[in-house]
Structure 1
Amino acid sequence: MKKEIAKKTAYIGAGAGLVMFALFGLLPGSFLGGIVGLNIAGKLFGLPLDPSLIARLTVVISMLMGVMIAGVVFVAGFSILGWLIGYVIDRLTERRAMGAYKAAEVK
């Protein structure tokens, strides 16, 4: 049973991170990625940007990267947080079990 609770809480944390990403990370990730893409395209092709395919692709790719990075941060962060909570719970239950075992051994 060792680390079983930590695994379960890590999965719960990953699910919570996915929900939080959908609620709070998707739109800001695309906005920030789009701003970065506009800056990159502006430096490469000059401002004001022409509606060319390459400039648009630069912005779209950077928007997708912004969304992916936001998703990784949310899911990995919440997964690690869930794993840490589960690890603490595992350690506390393990100590209680050892304490009960030692108390039964003394009697």
Structure 2
Amino acid sequence: MKTTVARKGAYIGAGAGLVLFAIFGLLPGSLLGGAAGINVAGWIFGLPLDPGLLQRVFVLAGMLAGVLVAGVAIVTATATVGWLAGRLVDVAVHMKEASEEGSATPMERR
């Protein structure tokens, strides 16, 4: 991220990703993570689960892991899209500057 336009795009994308995660990622992440935690606890302690503390810890850890994975995935994807959009804008600006200098592409200047 050498250019400021690409960096600003990545920050805007990450901010949008946090908003999207808060709206669309918390509930599915905790739901799927909780289901995975119940499965893991069921493999270890047997099903049906007793309402013990250790079983609940496994389910809680699964829910937290699901929320963390959903957050990382959404924010990384949107930050990448923002960075790519900023990079495209940066390339378009450089191409316009290069065409105003008299050369059609930056490769011809070499």
| Cα drift, residue 8 of structure 1 | 0.3
Distance 1:88 1:27 in 2: 34
Question: Structure 2: which amino acid aligns with 1:98?
Answer: A
Match in the other structure for 2:41: 41
Match in the other structure for 1:54: 54
Question: Structure 1: which amino acid aligns with 2:59?
Answer: V
Match in the other structure for 1:98: 98
Question: Structure 2: which amino acid aligns with 1:16?
Answer: A
Q: Which has the higher contact order (CA 8 A, sep 6+)?
A: 1
Question: Structure 1: which amino acid aligns with 2:54?
Answer: I
Distance 1:56 1:74 in 2: 27
| Cα drift, residue 58 of structure 1 | 0.3
Match in the other structure for 1:20: 20
| Cα drift, residue 101 of structure 1 | 1.6
| Cα drift, residue 3 of structure 1 | 1.6
Q: Percent identity?
A: 51
Matched, 1:6 2:6: yes
Question: Structure 2: which amino acid aligns with 1:12?
Answer: I
Match in the other structure for 1:73: 73
Match in the other structure for 1:88: 88
Question: Structure 1: which amino acid aligns with 2:98?
Answer: M
Distance 1:87 1:3 in 2: 8
Runs of 4+ in 1 over 3 A off after TM superposition: none
| Cα drift, residue 76 of structure 1 | 0.4
Query: RMSD across aligned C-alpha pairs, in angstroms?
Result: 1.0
SS at match of 1:72: helix
| Cα drift, residue 4 of structure 1 | 1.1
TM-score, normalised to structure 2, is: 0.90
- Structure 2's unaligned 5+ residue stretches are 104-110
- Structure 1's unaligned 5+ residue stretches are none
